[in-house]
Amino acid sequence: MGLISAFLSAALFTAANYYGKLYFLGWAALLPILYYLFILKNGEISYREIFFSGWKLGFWILLFSGNFLYYSIKLYTSAPMPIIIILLVLLFLLLSLIYGLFLLLYFYLQRKFFAKNEFNPLLFAICWTFFEFSRHYLLGFFPIANPASTQTEFFSFIQLAELGGIWILTFILILVNGLLFQLIFQKNYKNIIIITLILSLIFGFAYSRQQIDFTAARTVGTIQIGIITTDIDQEQKWTSAQLDQNIELTLNAAAELNQTRLIIAPETNLTFDFHSDQQQRQQFLEQLAAEFETPIQIGSLAAKDSGAGRYNSSYLISKSGELISRYDKNLLLYFGESYPYQELLNKYTPYHFSSLNAGEEPKVFKNKNLSWKTVLCSEILYPSYVKPESAEVDFIVNQTNEAWFNNSRLLKNIMWQAAVLRAVENRKPVIKTGNQAWSGIIYPSGKYQKVDPSQYYHILEFN
């Protein structure tokens, strides 16, 4: 029963990562595991059983949230399926140990401070929020599976992210789970009043925020941004035959998007080294200057004069073909752009693992009277990285290449959910464009407009 209850809770918790409209399941997701711990076990459970219950819950949550990693490892290493599955199972078993430690912490505090050893929803929510906060910073290379990300279709609720980010959303979500458990299984009817007050807070704040946004929108002009989107398989993307098509696709954007203030292409949309391949770069810049009437932001894996290795870079180029600015991705994606223990992996496996270089500082791009912060691909998953410069910019740009994950719906949803939360947290539009990705614009309210993935060129508008 312990394994089944952990499986059911994890499945309910993560269902919205696959289909966003199932966000409501998250509000009762913990009922199966809480029923097992406090009804079937009747509070009489050893610390060993507590730890393993948390471990099993964490394993299923991470498996349901991170199974897309299979495709990137397969693509990068060509390892056999059984080997990759074993590696991922071991990874998730290791990372989920922290869930067991969380449950130990909660039960220890419950038994220490509550004489009757009764379940306490408030303490449980505080402990879970502290746990998620700790997991996010201690295991920063795996910044997914936070319950707040499942709620991005609940637009009224996520407005609270402006006040406390994903942490306040996590706290309220877990608190309501605990209150519902007490209400249903322990007949604690006073919780109806508390739940009603919480819902009143959620919808009341959302309504007040909507009125502020409506008033501000009437006094600000409209900005048009053009984006390029692509649907290229990762194995095909880097072939020599595809190189010319990538360049042509970028240059052809002029005819479709010249009327906009800025054009943004996906991450690594140019598959040559934009720094070292000077002949190819000069030819591209000359063609751009001849056709474009607006600046363009492109992506490339590019070297630097200062040393060996390449960076995942984003370049801002003027309409006259001059380089305005460059940003090198700071937070590299583990198992994709960076590999821990790389020397050992190369020594004891038949595969060649190599890592990109990491940039050293965030970047705000500026052109005329527009300014924006660029975060590349997985950097959108880190609230504390996106936020610092957000107050001084007009919008946030997220360029991605999600083809590493075999067009995984799960990965695309997780990346989009993160962009929605960053927009609300910072009250700034987020413009997302990628290869084999959900692309479009998320407004500061969390409402969004996805573009048609079958088209290459799109115009987005915001105030």
Task: Tell me: do 345 and 397 sit in the same domain.
Answer: yes
Task: Tell me: do 204 and 289 sit in the same domain.
Answer: no
CA–CA dist 80, 59 (Å, integer) = 23
Average pLDDT over residues 312-338: 91
Cβ-contact 433, 450 below 8 angstroms: no
Task: Tell me: do 206 and 241 sit in the same domain.
Answer: no
Percent of the chain predicted with pLDDT > 70: 94
Please state, in angstroms and as integers, the Cα–Cα distance from residue 39 to each residue in 32, 35, 111, 206, 436, following that order.
Answer: 10, 5, 16, 36, 46
Q: What is the pLDDT of residue 308?
A: 79
Q: What is the pLDDT of residue 463?
A: 84
Nearest Cα to Cα of residue 271 among 262, 256, 284, 289 = 284
Average pLDDT over residues 322-327: 95
CA–CA dist 248, 445 (Å, integer) = 36
pLDDT grade for 351, boundaries at 50, 70 and 90: low
pLDDT, tens digit, 9 for 90 and up, residues 385-433: 999 988 899 999 999 999 988 889 999 999 999 999 999 999 999 999 9
Question: Above 50 in pLDDT, residue 215?
Answer: no
Task: Tell me: do 191 and 238 sit in the same domain.
Answer: no
| Number of domains into which the chain is organized | 2
Per the structure, the complete domain to which residue 299 belongs is given by 223-462
Cβ-contact 269, 299 below 8 angstroms: yes
Task: Tell me: do 200 and 252 sit in the same domain.
Answer: no
Task: Tell me: do 203 and 267 sit in the same domain.
Answer: no
- The chain-wide mean pLDDT, for the chain, equals 91
Task: Tell me: do 28 and 91 sit in the same domain.
Answer: yes
- Going by the DSSP 8-state scheme, the letter that residue 423 receives in this structure is H
| The token pair that represents 178 in the structure block | 């605990």
Task: Tell me: do 150 and 241 sit in the same domain.
Answer: no
pLDDT, tens digit, 9 for 90 and up, residues 242-270: 999 999 999 999 999 999 999 999 999 99
pLDDT, tens digit, 9 for 90 and up, residues 267-323: 999 999 999 999 999 999 999 999 999 999 999 999 998 777 899 999 999 999 999
Task: Tell me: do 123 and 255 sit in the same domain.
Answer: no
Q: What is the pLDDT of residue 381?
A: 96
CA–CA dist 29, 132 (Å, integer) = 16
- Going by the DSSP 8-state scheme, the letter that residue 240 receives in this structure is H
Q: What angle do CA 87, 435, 226 make, to 5 degrees?
A: 150
Question: Above 80 in pLDDT, residue 135?
Answer: yes
Query: Residue 234 sits in a domain of what CATH number?
Result: 3.60.110.10
Question: Above 90 in pLDDT, residue 67?
Answer: yes
| The token pair that represents 431 in the structure block | 């413009």
Cβ-contact 226, 458 below 8 angstroms: yes
Alpha helix locations (H) across 1-96?
Answer: 2-18, 31-35, 47-66, 69-77, 81-95
pLDDT grade for 346, boundaries at 50, 70 and 90: low
